[in-house]
Structure 1
């Protein structure tokens, strides 16, 4: 029955197999046995996918509420066993530079909540999660969204002989600018807001992620446009310097903790939210 429900929702034997962690052959056998049991065809081919037949559609609508009830009951039982799993998805750079230290402290303070973190360089609409870190304006349909940091963009680079204690707009003309593939508009947004013309610059280097751009800047390979909150440690240590009067606050365009409205794990998600939006050192529990 579960194999049928997964195939009905995804339209694919392979996708259903991946979600159930079994082989496509096992899914096909379950569907075949179900069709033999009822003496009718439940699916028909449609290109590379599967569509429900009339009989299959009627069966799916009848069992759907019961399957969902079983799923919810399992989640409740899992929580009552004393441990809740929160599947958290985040951008890689944000996770390594801001999120993970706070999660470490959160886990120590909340041992009955198991936060399982997955990351990616770019947002994936197909990602499966209980909560996620998203970059945007906070407006996602049917989602609860809480801003986590101020998204302040500022050019940063390694202090060298010709830029000992200050980075100026003139340096942009003489050095390589580091651009992030997943954030292609940042430099244009920043330059327009500050009235700095970078239209004639041709010395660009594109990198896959902000983490790689920051590392390249630390090694003196160019100037990165950083999200200031994510390089605060390097700025404080002096391994990176920032452009004076070169900050752009992106306002609502920032990182949010999001989850579906009325989520079954909302009580624990609220605990996580309150922890993450604290301003004190996350490694210190001051409760």
Structure 2
């Protein structure tokens, strides 16, 4: 461990001298530790020329060793934490965490000051080993059977949205007319523009320009910044719609994204705290679902935008109440 710590310190600055200062030991002691590590591994980790440089093996080890030390420090911190301070580890999709969970989390923290919530992000279905490192995992799912023992708590309509200024002086009279704008979708979304146009009764128009961005948050920010019309789940943009930062140029009934589900790890150290959190999460999800029905159902863009909507309740391809 001392040898690994010495190598990690050297890698931070590629300097034995600075590493020695950071560790509070001599230059020679650091050099000997790194040399011992190289002998133990049977590879060279550093090129010792006029300037230190990583070898290929050294660079690989350095990239892995930092996160490993952070994980060890976190584990030791949790073990040594006083009993009256509990840690609840939540893993959720990044955009959901930023746009939905964090803005609401202060309510839970005020009600449960003895519970420290630690957030991490992920989008893939959890592996078996993640049950050891997380208490609660949140994911968007097409079917519940892909994530056993999970519970749905938050639903989303899928909406095309854009900054209001994009529609200045433009009349959108049919779903297919959205193809005149730059269209944006998230690569991580389960529903794309091709699905949306199919639901509207059209193939994707030949003139459509579709930009697929890597993350949902990128698509959201692009819409807010007026770069195009993005397909986004309503749960994550309700505040932006209500505040007028985003508007809906056309709405299709029955167009939904995947629901958000939560599952409590069977290996959670504190089932009571986890139960408190998911009870709160379910209540917040129900409130958000109700708000979504209110905001989207009552949403009427400003007449000054020149947006034209057919009567409420029209068939597929036309807007209607949700």
User: If the length of structure 2 is used for normalisation, what is the TM-score?
Assistant: 0.56
Q: Is it true that 1:158 corresponds to 2:163 in the alignment?
A: yes
Residue number in structure 2 paired with 1:96: 98
Displacement of 1:125: 4.2
Do 1:158 and 1:241's aligned partners in 2 also have CA atoms closer than 8 Å?
yes
Residue number in structure 2 paired with 1:218: 224
Residue number in structure 2 paired with 1:53: none
Q: Distance in 1 between matches of 2:113 and 2:106?
A: 11
Displacement of 1:259: 2.4
C-alpha deviations, 1:193-229, integer Å up to 9, x for none? 3323215354111212111111111221111001011
For 1:130-169, what aligned pairs fall within 5 Å after superposition? Answer: 130-136=135-141, 137-140=143-146, 143-159=148-164, 160-163=167-170, 168-169=174-175
User: If the length of structure 1 is used for normalisation, what is the TM-score?
Assistant: 0.62
Give the secondary structure class of the aligned counterpart of 2:150. Answer: strand
Do 1:153 and 1:225's aligned partners in 2 also have CA atoms closer than 8 Å?
yes
**Of the candidates 201, 211, 215, which is equivalent to residue 195 of structure 1?**
201
Instruction: Label 1:163 to 1:256 Cα distance change in 2 as closer, same or farther (>3 A).
Output: farther
Residue number in structure 2 paired with 1:237: 243
Q: Superposition RMSD on alpha carbons, in Å?
A: 3.3
For 1:57-76, what aligned pairs fall within 5 Å after superposition? Answer: none
Gap runs ≥5 in structure 1: 1-22, 30-73, 282-287
Residue number in structure 1 paired with 2:84: 82
Give the secondary structure class of the aligned counterpart of 1:177. Answer: strand
Would you say how many aligned residue pairs link Structure 1 and Structure 2?
209
Give the secondary structure class of the aligned counterpart of 1:204. Answer: strand
Q: Is it true that 1:112 corresponds to 2:119 in the alignment?
A: no
Q: Distance in 2 between matches of 1:161 and 1:275?
A: 41
Residue number in structure 2 paired with 1:274: 279
Residue number in structure 1 paired with 2:124: 123
Gap runs ≥5 in structure 2: 1-33, 41-75, 289-322
Displacement of 1:149: 1.2
Q: Distance in 2 between matches of 1:90 and 1:204?
A: 27
